[in-house]
Amino acid sequence: MKISLHLLTSLTLTQLFITLIVFVHCVESTYYCSTAGGVDPCTLAETLYEPYARTGNCEYNGVYAPCDRYITPGWYKSDDLVLDNCPVLNSCGAVYPIWMNGTFPQVADGVVSRTLCKTGFGGCCVRQYDLQIKNCGTSYVYCLPALDSCPERLCFGTNGTCEYPTTVAITTTVAITTTAVVDSTVSLREYRNLKTRYVVAIVAVILLVISLSGFATLMSFCYIKKRRKDREISQSRVELATDETGVESNGSPPHLHFQPK
Ligand SMILES: *[C@@H]1O[C@H](CO)[C@@H](O)[C@H](O)[C@H]1NC(C)=O
Ligand SMILES: *[C@@H]1O[C@H](CO)[C@@H](O)[C@H](O)[C@H]1NC(C)=O
């Protein structure tokens, strides 16, 4: 009994620990790439976030200052392939371009994981991100993360027009002349970014509380069992002592009323 209790406790502890580690590690990187419920990312994918000027030939444009920090993590589709070789600094419309260090999957492979690399002053892979990619037959879909800082951007394609759409140009011109608009644009983006992070944090806290309360219940259950067992032992000791001293068993001491059964 004692051994099985110990085993149970340590098993629960280990389980809790592993669950926590796996959870913390996985939740932010994969929850938005989830294909649970049999949803096909090929149909789920949205048009690429700010698709313009992402090709390897486009230099960073300080007026538009595009950046994938504000991307809503999730599945995206693109006619251009994600760049699978190291681009130079100041390309893909960014100062620090992001590329895929890996091979393109086959249709039969389904969703696969790949590594994204950031080109920096230190080399071709100064920072890594996770990428999920699926071959949908005629094109690929990508589960893209929000990047850490600006101006970092994912590369799609090698050669293209580096023009920005006029609608973006108008918005940006207004934003530059009116600081208030700049502020509200930034805060909206930050808000979206923050919202995602808060949802993750809240879910994490809720799950942590659930696991902890489950653990606490188990511990108190074990404690009660142990107390009962201790009482039984001391009870049998009292009985033993009573037998030895030859006291009448009818005259039970008051505490014997607590004896279970
Ligand atoms: C790309 O990945 C391969 C295999 O994991 C690794 O050997 C290589 O160093 C990586 N390239 C860069 C630039 O990090
Ligand atoms: C890239 O496109 C330009 C014109 O858009 C063309 O002149 C050039 O040859 C192309 N380069 C490559 C490598 O395809």
pLDDT digits (tens, 9 = 90+) for 111-151: 999 999 999 999 999 999 999 999 999 999 999 999 999 99
User: Is residue 132 a part of any domain in this protein?
Assistant: yes
Ligand 1 center to residue 129 CA distance, Å?
13
Q: Are residues 84 and 172 in the same domain?
A: no
CA-proximal residue: ligand 1, atom 7 (nearest) = 101
Give the alpha-carbon dihedral of 109, 110, 111, 112, to 10 degrees: 0
Taking the alpha carbons at both ends of the chain, their separation in whole angstroms is: 20
Q: Are residues 76 and 103 in the same domain?
A: yes
Nearest ligand 1 atom to alpha carbon 117? 14
Q: Are residues 135 and 173 in the same domain?
A: no
Q: Are residues 70 and 49 in the same domain?
A: yes
The answer to whether the bond into 151 is cis (omega within 30° of 0) is: yes
Q: Are residues 71 and 191 in the same domain?
A: no
Percent with pLDDT over 70 in the chain: 67
Ligand 1 center to residue 214 CA distance, Å?
43
Q: Are residues 42 and 130 in the same domain?
A: yes
Ligand 1 center to residue 124 CA distance, Å?
9
Q: Provide the residue type at 16 as one letter.
A: L
Which residue, 139, 164, 189, sits at the end of a domain?
A: 164
User: Is residue 257 a part of any domain in this protein?
Assistant: no
Q: Are residues 41 and 76 in the same domain?
A: yes
User: Is residue 88 a part of any domain in this protein?
Assistant: yes
User: Is residue 219 a part of any domain in this protein?
Assistant: yes
Is the shortest distance between the CB of 120 and ligand 1 below 6 Å?
no
User: Is residue 207 a part of any domain in this protein?
Assistant: yes
Ligand 1 center to residue 101 CA distance, Å?
6
Domains held by the chain: number: 2
User: Is residue 232 a part of any domain in this protein?
Assistant: yes
> pLDDT value at position 175?
43
The ligand placed nearest to the CA atom of residue 58 is 2
- Of 36-40, 196-200, 205-209, 218-222, least confident by mean pLDDT is 196-200
pTM of the model as a whole:
0.58
User: Is residue 40 a part of any domain in this protein?
Assistant: yes
Q: Are residues 158 and 59 in the same domain?
A: yes
The ligand placed nearest to the CA atom of residue 127 is 1
Q: What residues make up the domain containing 234?
A: 1-33+166-245
User: Is residue 258 a part of any domain in this protein?
Assistant: no
Q: Are residues 93 and 20 in the same domain?
A: no
List Cβ neighbours of 118 (8 Å cut-off, separation of 6 or more): 96, 97, 98, 125, 126, 127, 128, 129, 147, 152
Is the shortest distance between the CB of 127 and ligand 1 below 6 Å?
no
Q: Are residues 158 and 187 in the same domain?
A: no
